[in-house]
């Protein structure tokens, strides 16, 4: 299968599987798993935080961050397109009684910081208490500039808000900017990283922040049923990908640019309205294409894509290379020109 649906579809490589099967493990709920402890320590040093927590998913990491920073009746400001607002089943509101205050994302993925300031509620019993600003990097494949992060830090300091980064794909941002990940993480009170996206681990995310914050998150993780036992088998994969799979993200970005360019050879497909910063390719498909039929025919030829018209999305990852992109383009051309 040539799978262009997401960078979550990667398969663990042989070296990763070997490390996983040989990992020293213990009961992590007792704090006994040496491999989980190694991953959490390594993460803290690598990302410049006091402490880290290994969790089951990016969704859980974001939820823990919101619940640990905010109490019932508090609110967090985020982008209208933020994953932790739009794509996490409303967890902060459902499970934490924490209200999101979304603000439209600009085309570059940022949120206007003047609008953030304007959205901060006065200290008055009519209002929810504004506690935190949540940014996302990359967002829709876009990289937030380091200057923007600096401004966001200054604003949140001035108004005593916590600053959280949903960094599911923060390594794609760091590689695209050609900077150490700390250049990004230094601005935040807390940050998440997905080990299971482009980095290629089978399961797991990290949440990091100050020690007290992580201890609070550890209690909340247990409450949510997220305490894992011999989780070192999974943590071993996390250590592996942080040490081995960061630099290769540049290949995914190059392949995404190549795919974005070649997709315009297909009648009815147009990626020219979208810039490719990282590993996500967006495009429009016009109504001359029966996208459902197209998707089914591609599937029958071993190519898996998600159907969609406006803002259709392809994602590159370690299972995709230029040859596979060529196979996809050729199959698509053959079908579109004949049908």
Site of interaction with ligand PLP (CB under 6 A): 57-59, 62, 83, 136, 166, 168-169, 194, 196, 205
Q: Which is nearer to ligand PLP, 281 or 289 (CB)?
A: 281
CB 208 within 8 A of CB 168: no
Q: How far is the CB of 89 from ligand PLP (least distance, A)?
A: 10
Kindly state the smallest distance separating residue 306's Cβ from ligand PLP, in Å: 14
CB-nearer residue toward ligand PLP: 162 or 197:
197
Q: How far is the CB of 91 from ligand PLP (least distance, A)?
A: 10
SS3 content of the chain, % helix, strand, coil (to 5): 45, 15, 40
Which residue of this chain has its Cβ atom nearest to ligand PLP in the complex? 58
- State how far the Cα of 116 lies from the Cα of 69, in Å rounded to an integer: 18
Place of tokens 């609110």: 75
Min dist. Cβ of residue 333 to ligand PLP (A): 31
Q: Which is nearer to ligand PLP, 140 or 232 (CB)?
A: 140
Choose between 204 and 232: whose C-beta lies nearer to ligand PLP.
204
Beta carbon of residue 99, minimum distance to ligand PLP (angstroms, whole number): 19
Among the listed residues 119, 139, 137, the one whose alpha carbon sits nearest the alpha carbon of residue 129: 119
Between 166 and 262, CB nearer to ligand PLP: 166
Measure the CA–CA gap between 241 and 334, rounded to whole angstroms.
38
DSSP string across 59-126: HHHHHHHHHHH--TTEEEEEETT-HHHHSSTTHHHHHH--EEEEEPPPTTS---HHHHHHHSPPSSTT
């Amino acid at each position: 299968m040539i799978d262009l649906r997401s960078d979550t579809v990667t398969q663990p490589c042989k070296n990763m599987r070997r490390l996983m099967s040989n990992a020293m493990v213990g009961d992590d709920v007792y704090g006994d798993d040496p491999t989980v402890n190694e991953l959490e320590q390594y993460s803290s040093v690598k990302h410049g935080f006091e402490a880290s927590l290994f969790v089951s998913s990016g969704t859980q990491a974001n939820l823990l961050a919101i619940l640990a920073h905010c109490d019932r009746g508090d609110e967090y400001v985020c982008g209208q397109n933020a994953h932790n607002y739009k794509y996490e089943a409303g967890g902060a509101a459902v499970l934490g009684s924490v209200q999101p205050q979304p603000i439209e994302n600009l085309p570059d993925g940022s949120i206007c910081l003047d609008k953030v300031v304007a959205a901060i509620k006065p200290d008055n019993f009519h209002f929810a208490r504004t506690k935190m600003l949540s940014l996302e990097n990359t967002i829709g494949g876009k990289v937030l500039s380091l200057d923007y992060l600096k401004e966001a830090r200054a604003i949140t300091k001035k108004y005593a808000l916590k600053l959280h980064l949903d960094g599911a794909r923060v390594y794609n941002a760091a590689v695209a900017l050609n900077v150490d990940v700390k250049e990004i993480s230094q601005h935040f009170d807390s940050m998440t990283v997905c080990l299971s996206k482009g980095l290629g681990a089978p399961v797991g995310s990290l949440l990091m922040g100050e020690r007290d914050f992580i201890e609070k998150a550890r209690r909340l993780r247990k409450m949510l049923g997220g305490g894992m036992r011999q989780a070192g088998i999974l943590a071993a994969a996390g250590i592996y990908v942080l040490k081995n799979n960061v630099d290769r993200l540049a290949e995914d970005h190059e392949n995404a640019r190549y795919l974005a360019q070649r997709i315009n050879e297909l009648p009815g497909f147009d990626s020219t309205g979208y810039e490719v910063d990282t590993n996500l390719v967006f495009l429009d498909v016009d109504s001359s294409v029966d996208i459902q039929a197209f998707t089914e025919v591609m599937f029958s030829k071993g190519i898996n894509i998600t159907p969609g018209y406006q803002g259709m999305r392809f994602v590159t990852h370690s299972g995709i290379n230029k040859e596979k992109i060529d196979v996809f383009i050729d199959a698509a051309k053959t079908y579109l020109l004949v049908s």
